A and B are shown apart, each in its own frame.
Chain A
């Protein structure tokens, strides 16, 4: 390790001088200055005054500055404009709050320096490209521990699906012909292996490695880490894809018959189940940022579903041909879609706009997966390609791997430089340097979790279980201010309370001469006006009553946003 120069490190020569400069002592003989006061005894004493002098050396300006991009990364958005607040006390309160938020942001940005682990990288020599390196070459050039992470399993019950657990430590394999295996893939320790004697359509880990769900021929079954069937969810039948929403403890699934369902696995309750009216659903992924289910349709539309409404929360027309692959990146910023016209498009998943990037491939991609650092793996037949910076114009092909059998599923391993590729004849894990997040947060996902830590994390996460009502397009909607609806409420109240009966201009029909004098006309006018007024009062009373009865039914937590 060479000497690291940090930007806050002072140059050694200046250290001495700067410390001396800060405080200068003055010895003052007060007898000379205050001759008049000699009669007071106390003044005779010599006093020392320490005076602070501003530091003139521009190199040392207190704490190290924080780069703008870091502040932006950890920032919590624009604050409130305190000048618009009318009451002084609230203005002060908000000002203080804003200061606190700013301080928190700065502190968070400063912690960046404590992140010790370095990201992986792969640089090609002159005249070479990174795509030409084979897995064997890469494995030969890395340390033994990392090289052991590249392995291949030959299995006979394919095509397989594979899922990594949230901390990247455990792997779950499910073969179409009934083979299910769970193991710690780093130590290669097998948890369980079984054949369910039914077709397996999809698998997924639940909140930790002690349980996983398997979508079988008819129902979804839940197994524990010894391979013992714990539950059979008969309400979920003919399921094609399952996803686990870790913060909500929801097992989301889509079925061959077009049904979407969400089961709360902590209480075993079916939260919501409805028909999407889209026919067979087979392309599904979750948006990790807001936990909406994204479903790729055969008409090129991606629809996003929440358990709270029976209509999609959002729909995007992404392709003109059927969608084959769909994935959302872990930060929830980007969505990648691929279709049968051999294109890949990248979309802004927060603004629901795009495409940001539009690429054409040699053949149509059926599998897409984003890594934690934003790399995109694309699976086409038996070829897997990994792209760097897929969302920018600098997008470049990074690694290319060809296997003998077609790829059936692939997924980046969280917190590791690994891409797990499941094929029809087994599983192989590929080394993709720089794909994984180097520094994990142990309170969020800890690959080195002990048994006790796992148990504690389970309890903590259960306590913090987010309610399914909070699955919305924008996840932080709960912390926003309910301004427009309040305004609307006040307006509605005022409308109800302060209404005037309408003015009715009664224009009598022209009648023949001699029929009906002015008295009669006037009386008719009064009658019409009276009638209108009565009707109006009746109407307003009814609406007021309705308003009152409506008030009682509000119970949902997010009703205030309706």
Chain B
């Protein structure tokens, strides 16, 4: 008789001392794990619910300005510093981790129109309604010294926007004309003009560094090459473009904020936008890309900030508070973690870029568990319950109402077009795809 009965040695299964972790023997036999699918689904459901529970995006509020914020600029090298300009000509420098203003001075007579750091971050350039381009040292003046610009240039034309070259000591301004400046000269090295419009925004391409784009008041976007003598291309839209931002990872993609929607264009084919990003109910005033180039943030006149994925037509998230008024500027910080917003009611707000993300360091097990729930959410994303919870947002009443109005308008237009099509000669009322509907023409010079 040969016999063996299961007899486990408890020492193999119990921890030796109180300071050890518990032993967890695993057996992945599927028979020991019933309801694998159902339990995984419940886990996904819990994960998506927890994501909504922990979605508290607002971090802090920087107050101190005595007029609305007109522009903010983030430091190109450091994460802790921020410069903001206001409508009363004041510039403030903030220390973000301490949440305090470290420096403030009146820089211009009238509105500060734009601020731009130079690439090494040692100084920043500001422009104002007084037509002066001033360069300021990033460091605070010594005790007893007055705030004085390092350099100031009087421009002959009005200035509305400024953008610095990614590497070289060159910056561009826009106003009546587009001008390229060298930091060491007091005259523009190049001037571009196409029509007699006023240009209200200009941006250097961060990858293809000689390329520039500006928004004009005749509802157009003009592309320039710094090496060229004349502007390159012009796109005219049905509504005015307020702000434009290049994708920092894909040199040929830019997104512009219009009076209603956002449009992403591919410079290689400007005939129609590659994507239209809906959801704002009022004019979009500002847009900034995340450093990864996968997402961008937009601020709008409807008092909300929305975050979009570049390839999606609708926003991933919407941020709002009761006190935040119309947005004038938003920025995505270079560590891809925070969003800075400046608004009409004199405050700069700091938000988390991913609303439910935990701030601070994560322990390895915590990170593993978060990664697991992330992939669960992705796996079960198309289940109706999970999709519903993931998409649900509380939005202010005025936006809810405006959305309904817009929806009714859109439906009415659709119905009208369908009626017209039904009662006219076949083919005389063509189907125009949404992407071609907002666009008037693209021109060469």
List residues of A (426-448) whose CB comes within 8 Å of B's CBs.
Answer: 431, 433, 436-445, 447-448
In the bound complex, residues from chain A placing their C-beta under 8 Å from that of B41 are 470, 478-479
A124 at the interface (CB under 8 A from B): yes
Contact with A along B371-397 (1 / 0, CB 8 A): 000000000000111000000000000
Contact segment of A33-41, A115-123, A270-278: A115-123
Is A475 a contact partner of B34 (Cβ separation < 8 A)?
A: yes
B314 at the interface (CB under 8 A from A): no
Contact with B13, one of A330, A448, A464, A465 (Cβ below 8 angstroms): A448
**A73-B38 in contact given A118-B4, A442-B23, A448-B14 (Cβ < 8 Å):** no
Question: In the complex the two chains form, what is the Cα distance from A288 to B384 in whole Å?
Answer: 28
Is B38 a contact partner of A146 (Cβ separation < 8 A)?
A: no
Question: In the complex the two chains form, what is the Cα distance from A331 to B31 in whole Å?
Answer: 5
Is A417 a contact partner of B1 (Cβ separation < 8 A)?
A: no
Is B27 a contact partner of A439 (Cβ separation < 8 A)?
A: yes
Is B5 a contact partner of A464 (Cβ separation < 8 A)?
A: no
Is B1 a contact partner of A450 (Cβ separation < 8 A)?
A: no
List residues of A (139-157) whose CB comes within 8 Å of B's CBs.
Answer: 141-143, 145-146, 149
B7 at the interface (CB under 8 A from A): yes
List residues of A (95-129) whose CB comes within 8 Å of B's CBs.
Answer: 108, 111, 114-125, 128
A243 at the interface (CB under 8 A from B): no
> Which among B12, B14, B36, B41 has the greatest number of chain A C-beta atoms within 10 A?
B41
List residues of B (267-318) whose CB comes within 8 Å of A's CBs.
Answer: none
Is B26 a contact partner of A443 (Cβ separation < 8 A)?
A: yes
Is A145 a contact partner of B7 (Cβ separation < 8 A)?
A: yes
In the bound complex, residues from chain B placing their C-beta under 8 Å from that of A477 are 37
Is B35 a contact partner of A146 (Cβ separation < 8 A)?
A: no
A185 at the interface (CB under 8 A from B): no
Contact with A along B1-37 (1 / 0, CB 8 A): 1111111101011100000001111111111111111
B441 at the interface (CB under 8 A from A): no
**In whole Å, how far is B28's beta carbon from the nearest beta carbon of chain A?**
4
**In whole Å, how far is B25's beta carbon from the nearest beta carbon of chain A?**
5
B166 at the interface (CB under 8 A from A): no
In the bound complex, residues from chain A placing their C-beta under 8 Å from that of B385 are 557
Is A479 a contact partner of B37 (Cβ separation < 8 A)?
A: yes
In the bound complex, residues from chain B placing their C-beta under 8 Å from that of A124 are 1
Is B27 a contact partner of A440 (Cβ separation < 8 A)?
A: yes
**In whole Å, how far is A466's beta carbon from the nearest beta carbon of chain B?**
5
In the bound complex, residues from chain B placing their C-beta under 8 Å from that of A436 are 6
User: Which B residue's beta carbon lies closest to that of A477?
Assistant: B37
**A475-B26 in contact given A117-B8, A441-B32, A560-B384 (Cβ < 8 Å):** no
In the bound complex, residues from chain A placing their C-beta under 8 Å from that of B148 are none
Is B5 a contact partner of A146 (Cβ separation < 8 A)?
A: yes
Question: In the complex the two chains form, what is the Cα distance from A437 to B8 in whole Å?
Answer: 12
Is A433 a contact partner of B3 (Cβ separation < 8 A)?
A: yes
**In whole Å, how far is A105's beta carbon from the nearest beta carbon of chain B?**
10
User: Which B residue's beta carbon lies closest to that of A245?
Assistant: B35
User: Which A residue's beta carbon lies closest to that of B15?
Assistant: A450
**A117-B6 in contact given A441-B26, A442-B24, A443-B24 (Cβ < 8 Å):** yes
B79 at the interface (CB under 8 A from A): no
Contact with B3, one of A122, A442, A464 (Cβ below 8 angstroms): A122
Contact with B46, one of A115, A463, A560 (Cβ below 8 angstroms): A463
Is A442 a contact partner of B26 (Cβ separation < 8 A)?
A: yes
Is B1 a contact partner of A128 (Cβ separation < 8 A)?
A: yes
Question: In the complex the two chains form, what is the Cα distance from A116 to B13 in whole Å?
Answer: 12
Chain A interface size range: 35 or more
B409 at the interface (CB under 8 A from A): no
Is A125 a contact partner of B31 (Cβ separation < 8 A)?
A: no
In the bound complex, residues from chain B placing their C-beta under 8 Å from that of A438 are 6
A453 at the interface (CB under 8 A from B): yes
In the bound complex, residues from chain B placing their C-beta under 8 Å from that of A145 are 7
In the bound complex, residues from chain B placing their C-beta under 8 Å from that of A5 are none
**In whole Å, how far is B29's beta carbon from the nearest beta carbon of chain A?**
7
In the bound complex, residues from chain A placing their C-beta under 8 Å from that of B383 are 478
B150 at the interface (CB under 8 A from A): no
User: Which A residue's beta carbon lies closest to that of B14?
Assistant: A448
In the bound complex, residues from chain A placing their C-beta under 8 Å from that of B8 are 117, 447
In the bound complex, residues from chain B placing their C-beta under 8 Å from that of A439 are 25, 27, 29
Question: In the complex the two chains form, what is the Cα distance from A560 to B387 in whole Å?
Answer: 14
**In whole Å, how far is A445's beta carbon from the nearest beta carbon of chain B?**
8
In the bound complex, residues from chain B placing their C-beta under 8 Å from that of A108 are 28
In the bound complex, residues from chain A placing their C-beta under 8 Å from that of B46 are 463-464
Is B34 a contact partner of A332 (Cβ separation < 8 A)?
A: yes
Is A330 a contact partner of B6 (Cβ separation < 8 A)?
A: no
User: Which B residue's beta carbon lies closest to that of A445?
Assistant: B32
B42 at the interface (CB under 8 A from A): yes
**In whole Å, how far is B285's beta carbon from the nearest beta carbon of chain A?**
34
List residues of A (68-92) whose CB comes within 8 Å of B's CBs.
Answer: 73-74
Is B35 a contact partner of A475 (Cβ separation < 8 A)?
A: yes
**In whole Å, how far is A9's beta carbon from the nearest beta carbon of chain B?**
23
A219 at the interface (CB under 8 A from B): no
Question: In the complex the two chains form, what is the Cα distance from A557 to B5 in whole Å?
Answer: 46
**In whole Å, how far is B368's beta carbon from the nearest beta carbon of chain A?**
14
A467 at the interface (CB under 8 A from B): yes
Is B1 a contact partner of A73 (Cβ separation < 8 A)?
A: no
5 cross-chain pairs, A with B, having the tightest CB-CB distances, nearest first: A476-B37, A479-B37, A146-B5, A331-B31, A123-B2
A positions within 8 Å CB-CB of B? 73-74, 108, 111, 114-125, 128, 133, 137-138, 141-143, 145-146, 149, 247, 288-289, 291, 330-332, 415-417, 431, 433, 436-445, 447-448, 450, 453, 463-467, 470, 475-479, 557, 560
B positions within 8 Å CB-CB of A? 1-8, 10, 12-14, 22-43, 46, 383-385
A-B pairs with beta carbons under 8 Å apart, 5 shown: A331-B31, A332-B34, A440-B25, A441-B26, A466-B38
Known: A137-B1, A441-B25, A466-B39. 9 other contacts (CB 8 A): A73-B29, A142-B7, A433-B4, A440-B25, A440-B27, A441-B26, A444-B33, A475-B37, A479-B37
